[in-house]
Structure 1
Amino acid sequence: MRKLIFLFVLILTAGITVKATDVVFKATAPDAVVMGEQFRLTYTVNAECKDLRVQELSDFDVLMGPSQSTSYSSSWTNGQSKSETSISYTYILMPKKEGTFNIPPASIKVKGANYTSNGLVIKVLPPDKANNSSNGNEGSGNSSATAIGKDDYFVRMEVSNRNVFEQEGFLVTYKLYATRPCTLNNMKYPEFEGFLVQEIDLPNKQWTQEHYNGRNYFTVIFRQTVLFPQRSGNITIDGGKFDAVIRIATQQKVRSIFDDFFDSYQDVNKILTTAPVTINVKPLPSGKPASFSGAVGNFTMASSISSDNVKTNDAVTIKLKISGSGNIKLIKNPEVVFPNDFDVYDPKVETDFKISTAGVNGSKTIEYMAIPRYAGDFEIPAIAFSYFDVKSGSYKTLTSEPYKLHVEKGKEEEGNAPVMSNFSNKESVKYLGKDIRYLKTKGVTFTSTNDIFFGSAMYFMCYLVPAILFVVFFFIYRKQVKENSNIALVRTKKANKMAVRRLKIAGKLMKENKKEEFYDEVLRALWGYLSDKLNIPQANLSKDNVEAELTKYGVEETLINEFMDILNTCEFARYAPSQASDAMDKLYDLTVDAIGKMENTIKK
C-alpha cells in the first residue's frame, strides 16, 4: 500500500508540475494625473510573497490601501500544467501639489529573498482652466458636431529644430490632443520634399495626459520621423490632414424605466489639420577636406587588416567600421588605395543602425578585398574619413594607420596563374598501316609545269598572307596589351557595359516591386558609370565635381541636368512613403536614355 501511494504521488507530481519562473515585482501608475483627482498605485508580484515595504509617499495623500487581491491562472501544454499566481497591492493616492514627483522603489520578500520594484515618475498637472464646456456638451441632447469645441481636438506637428545644417537630422512628431480618446482615419501626411525620411517604429501607441494652453488633454504620438535636409535654403514642410472619429454620449427621451440603464452614443467626424512649418537649412561651411563625402554628425572609425604577411594570389582584406550618429546611411565608402599590382574587388558593405528620437545611431562596416599578383613589400596608405561635426561647427578628419604588407611568392595554382597564349599546335600523327605503296600503272595523267602548284604565285601567296596576318595580329595584340595596362582607359570603355549590367538587375527588382532595392541599384549604376567614365573614384564623386567634369567634356547642360534629376529622384524616392510602379518604369527608361546620350557625347 505504501508503494502504491508513493507511486500515485510521484505520477501526480509529474503530471501537475508548476514551472518555476523568475520573480517579477513591478509598480504601475499613470504617467500624468490632474491635481485634485485620485489615482491608483499598484504593486504586482507573480509569486507567493509577504512583508511589502513601501517608502514614505510625502508628495501624495494615501486615501486607501494597500488592498490585496490574488489571481490564479493555469494552462495545459503537452500534458503538463503550468500555473501562475499574481498578487496585487493597490493604493489610492491624491496629489498634494503640482509638479513632477518620484515614487521610490518598494521591496517585498519571496521565499526569504528580497526583491525591489521599479521606481515611478508621476507628473501632476494643474486643473483645467476651461469650464469643461465641451464635456457638458457631450452629455447634452445636442449630438451634432457643434457640440465639439475647436480646441477640444487637434493635431500638432512638433519640430525639434528649425535651424539646421544641410544633412543634419531633426525630429518631427505628430501628436494628437483630445479631451477624450478618439481614432484617426485617412491620415494624409506631407511629401517631405527636399528631405531624406527615416521612420521611427512606434509599436505601442499609448494615451497619456498633458497640460497644454491651460487645458488638460489626452495625448498620443502616432508618428515620428527623422528628416535629413538634402539642400540648403528655406524648405517648407506642408501641413497634414487627418479625419478624426469622435464618439460622444447622447441622451434620448426616456420611454421606459430601462432606458436609464443604457447610454446612447454617436460618432462624429471632424477634420484635423496641421500648419506648415518652414525649416532654415544652412549650407555646410567652406574648407571641406578632400576626404569629406557628405557625412554629418558625430562618428568614430576603426580599421583592421586580415594579415600583413601573405602569398601571391592570396586575398588580403581591410575592414573599416564607421560608428556614430548622423546620416550614417548616406555615408560613402572611404577610398582605400591599393598598390597597382593588386586586383581590387568591389567592397562588401553591412549597415546596422537604429532610428530613435535621438536620431539615427549605428555603424557601417566596409570590407575591401584585394589579391596581390607579385611578391614584394608594399604599403597601403592611411585611410582618411572626414565628417562635419554639428556641435563644434567644424570638419573633423579620422585616419587609420598605414599598413605595410609583405607578399611572398606562392605556389601558382592553375586557376590563378597568368594566362599565356600558345600559337604552336602539335598535330597528331596517324599510322597508315603500310610504309610503301605499289606504283600505279593505270589511269596515270600528266600535268604541265605551268599547272604545278609548287613555285606558282598561289604557292607564295600561301606563305605571304599568313605572314602578313601574323604581323597584323601581333601589332593588334601588343596594342590590346598596352590598352589593358591602362586601367583608366579600360574602365572608361567598359563603363557602358557595367551600367547596362546593373540596370538589368534594377529591372528585375522593378518587376518584383522591391522599391528601395530598385532605387539603390539605379543609384549604384549611375555613380558606377560616372566613376568609370570620368575616371574618378566613387569616394571622391559628388554632384558638384560631376557637373564640372561633364562640362569639361562638352556635355550639354540639359543632359547634365537630366543626370542630376535622376540622382535626386532616386535619393528621395527610396525613402518616400509610397511610389507607384509606373514611376519606377519612367525612371528606368529615363536612366537608360540618359546613359545612351552620354555614350554618344563622350567617346573615348
Structure 2
Amino acid sequence: MKYLYFILTIALSFFSVFIKGGEGKAEAASITTQGPSQVAVGEQFNLRYVVKTTDVRGFRLGDVPDAFEVLMGPITSTQQSFSIVQGKTTQTESVTYTYVLMANKNGTFVIPAAHARVNGKPATSQAIRINVSGKTQSAQQGGGQRRGSRVDRAGAQISGNDLFIRVTANKKRVYEQEPVLLTYKVYTQVELTQLEGKMPDLNGFHTQEVPLPQQKSFHVETVNGRTYNCVTWSQYVMFPQMSGKLEIPSITFKGIVVQQNPNVDPFEAFFNGGSGYIEVKKELKAPAVNIQVLPLPAKPAGYSGGVGHFTVSASLDKQTVKAGDPVNVRFVVNGTGNMKLLKQPELNLPKDFDKYDAKITDKTKLTANGVTGSMIYDILVVPRNMGEYVIPSISFIYFDTQSNSYKTLTTEPLPLTVEKGNAGGATVDYSQRVDNDIHDIKKNGAPIEKTDDSFFGSGAYLLLNGLVFAIFLSLVIIFRKRASALSDVTAVRGRKANKVAVKRLKKAARLMAQGNGGEFYDEVLRALWGYVGDKLAIPVERLSRENITEQFQLHSVAEEVIESFVEAIDECEYACFAPGDTSGNMQKTYAKATDAITKIEEDIK
C-alpha cells in the first residue's frame, strides 16, 4: 500500500510540473510571419504563420492582393517536444499554417496581418511586404502557370491517369550519325515532390544529356480533357552509330507523392517531422521508343564524313604579302551535325607554295538540335616566289539531312599578290655577272697544250670511266629494287602504320599533359582509325567496328586485344560528345590505345 501511495505521489508531482510548463509557454504565445521579401513573376513561394502553442482557434489569412494567386493552403502541421532536465519538465509546442502562393505581376504589395484566437485571446501577425520584379525562365518562355496539385488522403490510389511520363523523339527515321532528340515529359495531377531516373548505357548510340535547370518549372497542359501540371524532366541527344531498327528501352522512374493524413496522432506527427502529411513512393515506367536508322548511301570521293546541314567559307588574313612571308588560309564549317568527326579540308596549292598542318579550333556546343557551332581550320602557307596567284577553291562534301542527299559546297577562289621579298633567294636577278657565267673570248695569247699530254684516252681516264660505270650500275640496281618496293603502296602504308600511329600518340601525350581533353581524344581517335586503315589497307571512310573486328580475326589477333582496341575507339568518340573528362580517364584511354597497337603489331607482321 505504501508503495502504491509513493507511485501516485510521484505521478501527481510530474503532472503538476507538466501543466505549469505548458501554461508558461502558452503565456508567451504569438503569431510569427515567415516569407520572402522579393520574388519574380511566375515564381512560387511559401508563406508561413507559426503559433507557439496548440490552442489556436479560427485562424484567418488576411486579404491577399490580386497580384498573388493562392495555389495551396492552409497546410497545417503541429510540433510538440518534451524534455526533463534535473527533474524540471519543459514542453514546447507550435502550429504552422503554410500557404503556397505565386506572383502574377510586378510591383510592391502588402499581405495584411493574419488573425486567430490564441489561448482564448485575439492574436494578430505582422503584415508582410513583398517586392515582385523580373520574370522566371518559364514565364519568359510564355509557359502556362502551374495550378495547385491535388493532395489526396492517405491510402488513395494513384492511377496512370493521375501521374505518367510521355517519351517523344523529334525523329524516328534517321540516317547514321544524324542526331535524335529524346524528351521525357512528366504529367501530374497529384503533389509530386521527387523523381529519379537514369538513361542506361545503350548499344548503337552515343548518348549525351542536355543540361536543364535544376529547379523544375511546371506549366499547365490539357490531355484528353484533363488538366495537368507538366514539366520537361530530361532530354537526351542520341547519335546512332549503326543502321537498322534500334530500341531505346523503357526506363523506370522512382517518384515520391505527398498525401494528407488527417488522423495523425500528435506524437506520431512529431516523430514524422511534425507534419500531417506522408510520403508515398510511386514507380513510373517511361515507354520504350524504336528508331529506324538508315545506312548512308554510297559515299562519293572526297566525302568529309559530315552528316547534318552545313555552310562553308574561306578567307585570307592578307591580300598582299612578300615572298617568304606566311599567309593564313582560314576555312570555316558552320552548321549542325556530327561536327567533331569531320575530316580536315584538302587545300591544293600552286607549286611555289609551302603548306603546314592545319590548326583546328572547336567552337561547338551541345543543344537540343545536336552539336551546333563552328569548326575552324587555319592553314599556314608560305609563297616562295613573287607573282600574282590564286588560292584554289576548297570543296566540302557532306550528307545533307534536309534533302537526304550528298551535297558539295565550294568556296570562292582567293587572289593573292606576292611581292619581292626582303631576303635574297626569294627571287632570281640575272642583271649582274657571276663567276660561273660564260666569259668573253680571251683575246690575249693563251698556252697551247700538246696532244700527247691530253688526259683523254689515258689509262687514268679509262680507269675513272670504269669506276663511274660500276657506280652507275650499282645505283641502277639499288633504285630498281627501291622503286619495286615503293610501287606496292599498300605494303608501304602497312609498314609505316605503326610509325604514324606512334607519332600521333606522342602528340596526344603532350595534349594530355596540357590538360586539353577535347584535342587529346580527337588525336587518339585519329591515331586509332588511321592505324587500322593503313594496317589493313582499308579507306578510313569505309571502316566500321564490324569490319575491323572481322579483319583482325582473319589475321589471328587475340580477342582481348581486338576488344581493347574497339573500347579505346568507343571511349574517344564518347568523349568527343561528352567533354569534361578527368585526366585519370585520359591516362586509361591512352594506355589502352598504346597497348592495343603494340600487341596488334606483334600479331600482324
The equivalent of 1:137 in structure 2 is 153
The equivalent of 1:11 in structure 2 is none
The equivalent of 1:499 in structure 2 is 501
Please give the alpha-carbon distance, in whole angstroms, between the structure 2 residues aligned to 1:279 and 1:298. Answer: 21
Please give the alpha-carbon distance, in whole angstroms, between the structure 1 residues aligned to 2:130 and 2:145. Answer: 29
The equivalent of 2:403 in structure 1 is 392
Deviation at residue 197 of structure 1 after TM alignment: 3.0
Deviation at residue 548 of structure 1 after TM alignment: 9.3
Deviation at residue 221 of structure 1 after TM alignment: 1.8
The equivalent of 2:74 in structure 1 is none
Letter in 1 for 2:280: V
Q: Is the 8 A contact 2:340 2:576 kept in 1?
A: no
Deviation at residue 200 of structure 1 after TM alignment: 2.3
Deviations 1:174-229 (A, max 9, x none): 223332131124x3212233223343221353122223344333222232122221
Note the residue ranges of structure 1 that are not aligned, 5 or more in a row. Answer: 1-25, 32-37, 44-63, 72-84, 90-117, 415-466
Please give the alpha-carbon distance, in whole angstroms, between the structure 2 residues aligned to 1:512 and 1:152. Answer: 53
1:525 to 527, 530, 533: 527
Please give the alpha-carbon distance, in whole angstroms, between the structure 2 residues aligned to 1:307 and 1:395. Answer: 33
Q: Does 1:159 align with 2:169?
A: yes
Q: Is the 8 A contact 1:195 1:572 kept in 2?
A: no
**Partner SS for 1:197:** strand
Counterpart mapping for 1:464-475 below 5 A: none
Counterpart mapping for 1:301-380 below 5 A: 301-339=312-350, 342-373=353-384, 379-380=390-391
Deviation at residue 233 of structure 1 after TM alignment: 0.7
Letter in 1 for 2:344: N
Q: Is the 8 A contact 1:27 1:120 kept in 2?
A: no
Please give the alpha-carbon distance, in whole angstroms, between the structure 1 residues aligned to 2:418 and 2:554. Answer: 44
Counterpart mapping for 1:80-479 below 5 A: 135-138=151-154, 142=155, 147-178=157-188, 179-185=190-196, 187-203=197-213, 204-252=215-263, 263-286=275-298, 288-339=299-350, 342-373=353-384, 379-405=390-416, 407=418, 410-412=421-423
Letter in 1 for 2:199: Y
Please give the alpha-carbon distance, in whole angstroms, between the structure 1 residues aligned to 2:169 and 2:353. Answer: 50
Q: Which moved more, 1:400-409 or 1:382-391?
A: 400-409
Deviation at residue 303 of structure 1 after TM alignment: 0.7
**Partner SS for 1:369:** strand
Deviation at residue 280 of structure 1 after TM alignment: 0.5
Change (3 A) 1:517 1:396: closer
Deviations 1:239-258 (A, max 9, x none): 223322333221235679x9
Deviations 1:513-541 (A, max 9, x none): 986555333213224546777999xxx83
**Partner SS for 1:137:** coil
Change (3 A) 1:295 1:557: farther
The equivalent of 2:16 in structure 1 is none
Change (3 A) 1:180 1:602: same
Deviation at residue 599 of structure 1 after TM alignment: 4.9
Deviation at residue 398 of structure 1 after TM alignment: 0.5
Please give the alpha-carbon distance, in whole angstroms, between the structure 2 residues aligned to 1:368 and 1:497. Answer: 24
Please give the alpha-carbon distance, in whole angstroms, between the structure 2 residues aligned to 1:530 and 1:342. Answer: 32
Letter in 2 for 1:137: R
Q: Is the 8 A contact 2:65 2:109 kept in 1?
A: no
Q: Is the 8 A contact 2:517 2:579 kept in 1?
A: no
Deviation at residue 311 of structure 1 after TM alignment: 3.5
**Partner SS for 2:525:** helix
Please give the alpha-carbon distance, in whole angstroms, between the structure 1 residues aligned to 2:545 and 2:414. Answer: 31
**Partner SS for 1:520:** helix
Q: Does 1:69 align with 2:109?
A: yes
Change (3 A) 1:210 1:545: closer
The equivalent of 1:17 in structure 2 is none
**Partner SS for 1:591:** helix
Deviation at residue 386 of structure 1 after TM alignment: 1.7
Percent identity between matched residues is: 37
Letter in 1 for 2:285: T
Letter in 1 for 2:524: V
**Partner SS for 1:188:** coil
The equivalent of 2:48 in structure 1 is none
Please give the alpha-carbon distance, in whole angstroms, between the structure 2 residues aligned to 1:389 and 1:240. Answer: 32
Q: Is the 8 A contact 2:152 2:260 kept in 1?
A: no
Deviations 1:520-569 (A, max 9, x none): 33213224546777999xxx831349999999999838589666664345
Deviation at residue 282 of structure 1 after TM alignment: 1.4
Change (3 A) 1:551 1:347: farther
Please give the alpha-carbon distance, in whole angstroms, between the structure 2 residues aligned to 1:87 and 1:547. Answer: 63
Deviation at residue 149 of structure 1 after TM alignment: 3.3
Please give the alpha-carbon distance, in whole angstroms, between the structure 2 residues aligned to 1:334 and 1:360. Answer: 19
Letter in 2 for 1:153: L
For normalisation by structure 1, the TM-score amounts to 0.57
Q: Is the 8 A contact 1:175 1:222 kept in 2?
A: yes
**Partner SS for 2:594:** helix
The equivalent of 1:454 in structure 2 is none
Q: Is the 8 A contact 1:515 1:574 kept in 2?
A: no
Q: Which moved more, 1:591-600 or 1:165-174?
A: 591-600
The equivalent of 2:541 in structure 1 is 542
Deviations 1:144-174 (A, max 9, x none): xx64334433333322221112222221112
**Partner SS for 1:522:** helix
Aligned residues: 432
Q: Is the 8 A contact 1:294 1:331 kept in 2?
A: yes
The equivalent of 2:598 in structure 1 is 596
Deviation at residue 385 of structure 1 after TM alignment: 0.7
Please give the alpha-carbon distance, in whole angstroms, between the structure 1 residues aligned to 2:418 and 2:603. Answer: 43
Deviation at residue 365 of structure 1 after TM alignment: 1.4
**Partner SS for 1:182:** strand
**Partner SS for 2:192:** coil
Please give the alpha-carbon distance, in whole angstroms, between the structure 1 residues aligned to 2:311 and 2:332. Answer: 8
Q: Is the 8 A contact 2:42 2:145 kept in 1?
A: no
Q: Is the 8 A contact 1:298 1:326 kept in 2?
A: yes
RMSD of equivalent CA atoms: 5.3
Please give the alpha-carbon distance, in whole angstroms, between the structure 2 residues aligned to 1:406 and 1:580. Answer: 47
Please give the alpha-carbon distance, in whole angstroms, between the structure 1 residues aligned to 2:388 and 2:532. Answer: 33
Please give the alpha-carbon distance, in whole angstroms, between the structure 1 residues aligned to 2:195 and 2:355. Answer: 54
Please give the alpha-carbon distance, in whole angstroms, between the structure 2 residues aligned to 1:554 and 1:378. Answer: 51
For normalisation by structure 2, the TM-score amounts to 0.57
